[in-house]
Structure 1
Amino acid sequence: MTREIHGTVADGFEAVRQEFAAFVAGERADYEGQLCAYVHGRRVVDLWAGDGTEATSLYAAYSATKGAAHLVVALLVQDGTLELDRKVTYYWPEFAAEGKAGVTLRELLAHRAGLIGTDTGFSPAELLDDRLIAERLADQRPFWRPGATFGYHATTIGALSGEVVRRATGRTLQEVYEERVRAPYALDFHMGLPAAHDPRFRSTLPMAPTHEQRLLLGELPSGTHSVSGIAFNRHAAVPTDLESLPNDRLLRAKGPASVGGVASARGLAGLYAAAISEVGERAPLLKADTVAEVGQFHSVGYDVVARAHRAFGLGFQLPADTLYPFLGAGTFGHSGVAGCQAFADPRAGLAYGYTRRRFAFPGGAAPENERLVLAVHRAASERG
C-alpha cells in the first residue's frame, strides 16, 4: 500500500524518508505519526503521515514528559539552585517520614527511593495534580529500602522532582519549564496545554493487538498489588487506564510532570536539540559537564518494576544501553508508553523525536523506532 509521506529531509537523509515510508506502508490504514531529527542544532528530518496529521499536530507525550521535567532539574543543578548529593529533606522536610530521611536528590532522580506509589493508590483527581501526589508520597513508606535497588517510578517521579523544584524555587516545575525552556525556543512540547492549542491535539487511540498478541496479553498476570501494579496505579479504587488518560482535557491543561505532556515530534526533537546544541543564535541549555552528569549510569540492571534490564541517568532513560546500542555513550532521553521516543546523542550532535497516535504493542517506545533511529543515526554519521 502506498501512502503519502509529507515533509522534508536534508541532503544525505533521503534514506530516512525511505525507511519511514516503508514502515508506514505496512501499518494499519488509520496510522498517524511524525518523525523529526536535528543534527548539531539544524533540523534535518521533518516527516509526517496519516489522515488528519499535520506537522503541527499534537500527541500525548506520556512519560516523554519526564524528559522535559528533568531537563528543568538539570538546569537548576547547573545553576547551583539544586545539589545532587544533598538530602531531599534539605528542600522538603516533610519527606523524612517513614524512613526516607537519608534519601539524596541523586537517588531520587535515579528511581532508587522506592516511592513508586501509595498503599491505596491515587484517585483520578490526584493523578492530575503533582502537589497532591507529592503530599501523599511524603507520608508513604517506601516499597524497598531506599538505595537497595531501583524501579521505574512511572506515575510519581515527576511529582517528586517537581516538589523539590517548588520548594527550592518557590515556583512549580511547569512554570520554570515554560519560562526557561518551552517559550524561549517556541517548542511545541507543553506541560500544561493552553486551551487555544487544544484543537491541534489528536486524541490517543487504544492499542489494537493482533490475535497472537491478545493471547499473550491474556497469559500475563494482572499483578494488581505487585510492585509493578502499584507503580502503574492498577490497585487504586479506580485503576488508571493509560490508553485514555491523555484524552482528559483537564490532564492536558495541568500537565503533570510524569505523564501529562503534549507534543509534536518537532517539539520532542527540539527539546533535546536545545539541550545539547546551539539552536539559532542560542547557546545549548546544558553545559558539557551537565550533559555528562545526566547521561551517566546511575541505575542499571534489573528494574524491579519493569521486571527487565533498564538503565537510568538522572531522571532520564539511557536508550543506548537498552534499545539502540549503536548510539553514543551518554545518550539520554525518555520514551512514552504509547510509542513515542525522544533523546539526545551528544557525541553525534543528534536529537530525535517520534510520535504516533495509536498505542503501540506492547507499550513503551514503539518497535519501529529501532529502524527509524538506525536510519537517522546512520545518515548523521555519514554526514560527519
Structure 2
Amino acid sequence: MPDEKNTPQGTVSEGFESVRREFGAVAAEEGGDYAAQLVAYLGGERVVDLWTGPEITGDSLTGVFSSTKGAAHLVVALLVQDGVLDLDQRVSHYWPEFAAEGKRDITLRDLLSHRAGVVGADSGFLLEELADDRVIAERLAAQAPYWRPGTAFGYHALGIGALTGEVVRRVTGQSIQELFEDRVRSRHDLDFFLGLPEEHEPRFLTTLPMLPTPEQQAQLDAAETGPRSVTGIAFNRNHPQAPDLEALPNVRVIRAKGPASVGGVASARGLAGMYAAAISELDGRAPLLKPDTAAAFAQIHSIGYDLVSRAHKAFGLGFSATGDVYPLLGQGAFGHSGAAGSQAFADPRNGLAYGYNRRRFAFPGGAAPENGRLIAAVHAAATSARRR
C-alpha cells in the first residue's frame, strides 16, 4: 500500500493530473521524511498547488537560501525599469566607498552578472555578520577583488544581495527588504519574506541536513575545496568560526533580518506567486515587469566555467538563466534555485511560473535533481492546456 504521508495533498487544475502523479512518484522514491511543496501558474492562474510529507502543509514556510536572490533582484529590476538605477553606471557612482582596491570601474551590470570578483572577505564572517547586509557591504567595499573584474565570473553566493542592496539603499534610502515588502510581497500577499515577522514563526519548519549515502559522501569529499580557495572564501569556510551554512535559516536572527543573498523564508506558493506576479496579470494587477525589462534581466551575461562553483553556470542579471539548466523552457526564462533544493522561475514565453521547495537538503546541494522531472511534467501539461 502507498505510504499516506507521502501521498500528494492539494489541488491541480484539469489537465494537470499528470503533475500530481509525477510528484507522487518522486515522493515514493524519496520516501522517509521527504517533505516538499510544488506550485505552478499558467497565464497568472494557479494550476498546481501540492505538498507531501510529514509535518508540511501548503502554508508551511522554510528557508529558501539562494532563491532569496530572485526576490532581491526583482526589486533591482523594478528600480531599473523606473529609471532610478542605470545598469551601465559605475557602482562607485552610487556608493563611493566601493571604489577601494581597484573596484572603481565596476558597473552595476558587472556586479549583477557575478563578474565583480568580490565573492567574500579575507577574514570571513561570523554568523551575526552574515545576518546583516550592511555589515557585509561595508566589509566587501574595502575588499580587493579575487580576480580582475570583468575577466571571469564566479557565484557571489553570500554577498551579492548585500552588494546590490547597498546600491539600492544609497539611491532610495530604503533597503531591498523594505522595498520588496512594499512593492512585491504585500501587494500580492505572498508567503515570501525577507525578514520573517514573529507572528509567522509557528509556520516555519526547520531545515534538515543532507543525509548522503556512503557513495554520495565520497563524491562530496572528492569535490571538496580548501577553505582559503576562491570557493572556500565565497562560502565563508575561511572563517575559523564559520557557521554551518545548511542551518542558517534555523537561526532566528537570519530569519528576522532576511539577508538578501540567502535569508528568505517562503513556501512554494510564495516562490511561484512572485514569479507569476513578475510576468503575468495577477490579482487584477498588471505584471510587475514590462516585457523588455524581463528580457533584459533574463539575457545571459555570464556563461561557462564559474570560478566559485567550479562548474558550468549561466547568469542573467541577478537571476540564473534557468533555460540553460532546463532547455525545454522558453528562451528568456529566469529565476533562482536555493541550496536545500528549491527552484523557482518565470518562463515568459510559455506564461509559466514555477516554485518548488523541500525541507531536507538534496544531494549534492542546489536545485534538487527531481526538479527536472517536475518541470518537464508541468511544461507538458501546460503545453497541452494551451492547445485545447
Q: Same fold (TM over 0.5)?
A: yes
1:122 and 1:329 mapped to 2: Cα distance? 38
2:136 and 2:288 mapped to 1: Cα distance? 29
- Which residue type is aligned with residue 153 of structure 2? F
| 1:378 and 2:380 correspond | yes
Q: For residue 9 of structure 2, what is the aligned residue in structure 1?
A: 6
1:221 and 1:188 mapped to 2: Cα distance? 35
Q: For residue 248 of structure 1, what is the aligned residue in structure 2?
A: 251
| Deviation of 1:92 (Å) | 0.3
Contact between 2:207 and 2:246, CA under 8 Å: does it hold in 1? yes
Contact between 1:59 and 1:262, CA under 8 Å: does it hold in 2? yes
1:183 and 1:240 mapped to 2: Cα distance? 32
| 1:77 and 2:80 correspond | yes
| 1:48 and 2:56 correspond | no
| Deviation of 1:240 (Å) | 3.3
Q: For residue 168 of structure 2, what is the aligned residue in structure 1?
A: 165
1:29 and 1:98 mapped to 2: Cα distance? 50
Provide Cα deviations, 1:286-314, integer angstroms capped at 9, x if missing partner.
00110110010111111111111100001
Q: For residue 106 of structure 1, what is the aligned residue in structure 2?
A: 109
Q: For residue 287 of structure 2, what is the aligned residue in structure 1?
A: 284
2:224 and 2:106 mapped to 1: Cα distance? 32
Provide Cα deviations, 1:198-234, integer angstroms capped at 9, x if missing partner.
1100000000011211222233333111111110000
Q: For residue 310 of structure 2, what is the aligned residue in structure 1?
A: 307
- Which residue type is aligned with residue 112 of structure 1? R
- Which residue type is aligned with residue 140 of structure 1? Q
Q: For residue 357 of structure 1, what is the aligned residue in structure 2?
A: 359
Provide Cα deviations, 1:309-350, integer angstroms capped at 9, x if missing partner.
1000010001211x2111111000000000000000000000
1:145-160 aligned at under 5 Å gives the runs 145-160=148-163
Provide Cα deviations, 1:251-297, integer angstroms capped at 9, x if missing partner.
00000000000000000000000000000210000001101100101
Segments of 5+ residues of structure 1 without an aligned counterpart are none
Provide Cα deviations, 1:93-133, integer angstroms capped at 9, x if missing partner.
11000000000000000000000001111111110000000
Q: For residue 23 of structure 1, what is the aligned residue in structure 2?
A: 26
Provide Cα deviations, 1:226-246, integer angstroms capped at 9, x if missing partner.
111110000112123111111
Q: For residue 176 of structure 1, what is the aligned residue in structure 2?
A: 179
2:24 and 2:127 mapped to 1: Cα distance? 39
Contact between 1:343 and 1:353, CA under 8 Å: does it hold in 2? yes
2:224 and 2:257 mapped to 1: Cα distance? 33
- Which residue type is aligned with residue 62 of structure 2? Y
- Which residue type is aligned with residue 359 of structure 1? F
1:89-100 aligned at under 5 Å gives the runs 89-100=92-103
Contact between 2:206 and 2:359, CA under 8 Å: does it hold in 1? yes
- Which residue type is aligned with residue 59 of structure 2? T
- Which residue type is aligned with residue 373 of structure 2? R
SS at match of 2:275: helix
Q: For residue 189 of structure 2, what is the aligned residue in structure 1?
A: 186
2:283 and 2:200 mapped to 1: Cα distance? 25
1:361 and 1:135 mapped to 2: Cα distance? 34
Q: For residue 273 of structure 2, what is the aligned residue in structure 1?
A: 270
| Deviation of 1:167 (Å) | 0.3
SS at match of 1:51: coil
Contact between 2:37 and 2:268, CA under 8 Å: does it hold in 1? yes
2:322 and 2:261 mapped to 1: Cα distance? 18
Contact between 1:232 and 1:240, CA under 8 Å: does it hold in 2? no
| Deviation of 1:195 (Å) | 0.4
Q: For residue 341 of structure 1, what is the aligned residue in structure 2?
A: 343
- Which residue type is aligned with residue 376 of structure 2? L
SS at match of 2:299: coil
Q: For residue 325 of structure 1, what is the aligned residue in structure 2?
A: 327
Q: Report the TM-score, using the length of structure 2 for normalisation.
A: 0.98
1:106 and 1:78 mapped to 2: Cα distance? 14
| Deviation of 1:166 (Å) | 0.1
Q: For residue 132 of structure 1, what is the aligned residue in structure 2?
A: 135
Q: For residue 204 of structure 2, what is the aligned residue in structure 1?
A: 201
Provide the alpha-carbon RMSD of the alignment.
Answer: 0.8
Q: Report the TM-score, using the length of structure 1 for normalisation.
A: 0.99
Q: For residue 296 of structure 2, what is the aligned residue in structure 1?
A: 293
Contact between 2:69 and 2:319, CA under 8 Å: does it hold in 1? yes
Residue in structure 1 matching 2:371, options 369, 372, 376 = 369
SS at match of 1:343: strand
2:333 and 2:211 mapped to 1: Cα distance? 31
SS at match of 2:356: strand
| Deviation of 1:28 (Å) | 2.8
Runs of 4+ in 1 over 4 A off after TM superposition: none
| Deviation of 1:247 (Å) | 0.2
2:223 and 2:283 mapped to 1: Cα distance? 49
1:221 and 1:34 mapped to 2: Cα distance? 30
Aligned length in residues: 383
Contact between 2:279 and 2:346, CA under 8 Å: does it hold in 1? yes
